[in-house]
Amino acid sequence: MEPFLVGILVPIGSFAMVFGIVYLVVTSRNRERMALIERGADPALFESKKKPGGGVMKAGLFLFGIGFGIVVAYFLASAGMDDGAAYPAMIFVFGGLALIVANLWQRKLDKEDEIKQ
């Protein structure tokens, strides 16, 4: 197969696959909900009880942790640590630490909301 043809078919195939998966998930979710409603389930069951913005906070803290890990890894590599070990280790350590902080912060916010209600 020619490289030009492969260069065209691979991205088209990738996008088609992603579109197909999303389409199947959305249609099956809709069918499931319609079947539950037909059987008498309450439509309020499908409403999300989560506050908006929780995922944004988690993603922001995660990306901050990764960036901070890269900075720390740079200083460790400058101090003589092996580059191949410093960068992945610090990225995983500080990225994971940021996710733990985000989880603890979210729990605190959820407790405050329960107290207010």
Q: Are residues 25 and 38 in the same domain?
A: yes
Q: What is the pLDDT of residues 83-95, one digit of tens each?
A: 888 999 999 999 9
Q: Are residues 76 and 105 in the same domain?
A: yes
Residue 49, Cβ density class (10 Å: 0-12 exposed, 13-18 middle, ≥19 buried): exposed
| Model pLDDT, residue 78 | 93
Q: Are residues 76 and 29 in the same domain?
A: no
The DSSP secondary-structure symbol of 52 reads: T
Q: What is the pLDDT of residues 12-64, one digit of tens each?
A: 999 999 999 999 999 998 998 888 888 888 877 777 666 666 788 889 999 99
Q: Are residues 61 and 111 in the same domain?
A: yes
The total number of structural domains in the chain stands at 2
Residue 62 contacts residue 99 (beta carbons within 8 Å): yes
Q: Are residues 8 and 53 in the same domain?
A: no
Q: Are residues 27 and 82 in the same domain?
A: no
Q: Are residues 36 and 59 in the same domain?
A: no
| Model pLDDT, residue 50 | 65
Provide the domain limits for residue 40.
3-44
Q: Are residues 112 and 85 in the same domain?
A: yes
Q: Is the pTM of this model over 0.85?
A: no
| Model pLDDT, residue 14 | 94
The DSSP secondary-structure symbol of 50 reads: S
- Across the range 92-99, mean pLDDT stands at 94
- Distance from C-alpha of 60 to C-alpha of 6, rounded to nearest angstrom: 37
- Distance from C-alpha of 38 to C-alpha of 90, rounded to nearest angstrom: 52
Looking at per-residue pLDDT, the higher value among 68 and 57 belongs to 68
Total H helices, total E strands in the chain: 3, 0
- Distance from C-alpha of 54 to C-alpha of 52, rounded to nearest angstrom: 6
